[in-house]
């Protein structure tokens, strides 16, 4: 069952391409006013226009999730858009790869800043809006590397593990205010990032961004009596657990 999100406001970060784009389109089709956020204005403008062309409502807001002033400005714009925030999907992230012994510290700092700091800042700002409402849903996008390890992905893996810890704590803190928090851990998805990280994988066996978007819709279709802590969705050809 797909949710009816008419009248709600949803913010999706990293929404200019790949998984984020698919999620934004799906939420727009479900009736939500979508705030499409990412660094590249041209990409988010195209996504917002696609939602509008399909009969939905969307606005595009450029953001650098690693920069606190930029995140604060984004959420100020969300307040102006609908005076509320019903759904936040933290999808923005980058991947930089290499062995631990050779990995530049500057690259580590960048991955942590975007993937962990950015998710933390957006959760923090979302809570400021959702707590007074006593409602809302925060969905963080982690990865299979949130509980597994692969060669040359130490920095990326560390941040996805950290997102798991952040989500677990936030779910406990937010629950008393009627806010639900879940995390989705996708396996290999056919995106530019995955192709860079795992060029050895056959794209034909990978998940599609729409698979993750439909998982988000599933979470939002549940009654407020249900709480889902995490969903691990993998490609059928991979080993479980």
Closest CA to 129 of 93, 88, 90: 88
CB contact at 8 A, 122 and 90: yes
Closest CA to 29 of 61, 53, 59, 60: 53
Closest CA to 127 of 90, 157, 80: 90
156 is catalytic: yes
Catalytic residue among 97, 150, 156, 232: 156
Two structure tokens written together for 226: 């249900």
Closest CA to 43 of 77, 18, 65: 18
CB neighbour list of residue 68: distance below 8 Å, 6 or more residues apart: 121
CB contact at 8 A, 116 and 166: yes
CB neighbour list of residue 207: distance below 8 Å, 6 or more residues apart: 186, 187, 188, 189, 190, 233, 234, 235
Active-site residues: which are they? 156
């Amino acid at each position: 069952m797909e949710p009816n999100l008419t009248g709600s406001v949803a913010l999706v970060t990293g929404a200019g391409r790949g998984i984020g784009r698919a999620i934004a389109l799906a939420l727009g089709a479900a009736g939500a006013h979508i705030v499409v956020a990412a660094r590249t204005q041209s990409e988010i403008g195209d996504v917002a226009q696609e939602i509008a062309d399909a009969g939905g409502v969307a606005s595009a807001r450029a953001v650098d999730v690693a920069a606190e002033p930029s995140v604060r400005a984004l959420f100020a714009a969300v307040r102006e858009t609908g005076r509320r925030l019903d759904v936040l999907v933290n999808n923005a992230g980058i991947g930089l790869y290499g062995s631990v012994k050779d990995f530049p510290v500057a690259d580590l700092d960048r991955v942590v800043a975007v993937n962990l700091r950015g998710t933390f800042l957006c959760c923090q700002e979302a809570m400021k809006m959702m707590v007074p409402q006593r409602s809302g849903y925060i969905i963080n996008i982690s990865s299979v590397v949130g509980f597994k390890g692969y060669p040359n992905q130490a920095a990326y893996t560390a941040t996805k593990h950290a997102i798991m810890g952040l989500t677990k704590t936030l779910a406990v803190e937010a629950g008393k205010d009627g806010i639900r928090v879940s995390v989705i851990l996708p396996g290999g998805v056919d995106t530019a990032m995955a192709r860079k990280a795992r060029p050895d994988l056959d794209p034909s066996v990978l998940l599609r961004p729409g698979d993750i978007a439909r998982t988000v819709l599933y979470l939002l279709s549940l009654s407020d009596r249900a709480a889902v802590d995490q969903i691990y969705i993998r490609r059928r050809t991979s080993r479980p657990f």
